[in-house]
Amino acid sequence: MSAEKVTIADVARTAGVSKGLVSFALNNRPGVGAETRVRILQVAQDLGWKPSLRARSLSTQRSFALGLVIARNPEVLASDPFFPSFIAGVESILAAERRALVLSVVPDEETELQTYRSLVADGRVDGVFLSDLRHNDARIPLLTELGLPAVTLGRAEGDSPFPAVTIDDTPGVMESVRYLADLGHRRIAHVAGSTNLLHGTRRREAFAAAMTAAGLPDGQTVETDFSARAGSDATRRLLGQAIRPTAIVYANDPMAIAGLGVAHELGIRVPEDLSITGFDDIDFCRYVFPPLTTVSAAPAVWGRAAATTLLQLMEHGRADDVDLPAARLIIRGSAAPPTRH
């Protein structure tokens, strides 16, 4: 019999029991004798029966899906390979568990909050990944009120009932500044992300602390929305000054790659006239010219750890925080000692 066509009725008929008893046995419910349960499970295995997710959802009142809601401009999301890499890591775990990922991209925070309410009301997900943590994050109390299991990507500000999966990005930013300072750079600028996001603030503070630790004056900082377009605009602004920086530390790789393009356009050589570092170590970094010196944050590893933690939380009602290895600098070809004129 084809495994595609095997049903509970087929298992019941072969085992000589009712469909209801087969359902109880297959779903590990009480009310089935030990010998009968073993016989039913053996028959199901012999016939090649596989559970239907739809049937399991109806019988267990679970959706067998996890959610990821991202409140970002689609243009920003389209230019940033971080989330595809993170999602690939999540999917590598969910596929083995026969679970799905429900992805929603929304324009603002209020729509995001309403999306969580709808996901719970419609029973579409059993848990969610909480990304882009914010100051005074309204999602934490909302998800607590809704009773929806969640894992935060990074530690939330203040109290949170949810386990966190974290990668400390501070050492990577500080290592970037220290590396540039050791090369001889003194005018180092920072193209930062949004300070509305905890990781944008954290990287900005790490940059400032590293400049102080290196004995350098405060570096010029330009805040952006993390998009490649904003990175390009910020770079053009910095390089258009009478006294321009000799090095720029970017808060993510798409902005760094956009900045590299602006430098080429303006006839500014990288790394001879301008050194550049990024953050995330997306795949493109290896193939631009020169290859980008950047900070590795291993988004796929982050995704796998987050998915494993969320499944554990849903299964056992608790899960420990997970601290992944800290972000680290990957030295390639986009940084060199500054040219002396």
Give the mean pLDDT of 67-72. 91
Q: Which residue has the higher pLDDT, 265 or 63?
A: 265
pLDDT at res. 97: 85
pLDDT at res. 340: 66
Average predicted confidence (pLDDT) for the chain:
89
Give the mean pLDDT of 32-45. 84
The token pair at 186 is 């003194």
| Whether residue 168 has pLDDT greater than 50 | yes
User: Residue 52: pLDDT band by 50, 70, 90 thresholds?
Assistant: low
Question: What pTM value is reported for the model?
Answer: 0.79
User: Residue 232: pLDDT band by 50, 70, 90 thresholds?
Assistant: very high
**Percent of the chain whose predicted confidence (pLDDT) is above 90:** 65
3-state secondary structure the chain: CCCCCCCHHHHHHHHCCCHHHHHHHHCCCCCCCHHHHHHHHHHHHHHCCCCCHHHHHHHHCCCCEEEEEEECCHHHHHCCCHHHHHHHHHHHHHHHHCCEEEEEEECCHHHHHHHHHHHHHCCCCCEEEECCCECCCCHHHHHHHHCCCEEEECCCCCCCCCCEEEECCHHHHHHHHHHHHHHCCCCEEEEECCCCEHHHHHHHHHHHHHHHHCCCCCCCEEECCCCHHHHHHHHHHHHCCCCCCCEEEECCHHHHHHHHHHHHHCCCCCCCCCEEECCECCHHHHCCCCCCEEEECCHHHHHHHHHHHHHHHHHHCCCCCEEECCCEEECCCCCCCCCCC
Sketch out the chain's domains with CATH numbers.
Answer: 8-51 (1.10.260.40), 65-167+299-324 (3.40.50.2300), 170-297 (3.40.50.2300)
User: Residue 292: pLDDT band by 50, 70, 90 thresholds?
Assistant: very high
User: Residue 58: pLDDT band by 50, 70, 90 thresholds?
Assistant: very low
| Whether residue 77 has pLDDT greater than 90 | no
Q: For the segment 299-330, what is each residue's pLDDT rounded down to a tens digit?
A: 999 999 999 999 999 888 889 999 999 999 99
User: Residue 41: pLDDT band by 50, 70, 90 thresholds?
Assistant: confident
Going by C-alpha positions, the residue among 176, 139, 148 that lies closest to residue 280 is 176
Name beta bridge partners: 294: 330
Contact 219, 188 (CB under 8 A): yes
User: Residue 288: pLDDT band by 50, 70, 90 thresholds?
Assistant: very high
| Whether residue 152 has pLDDT greater than 90 | yes
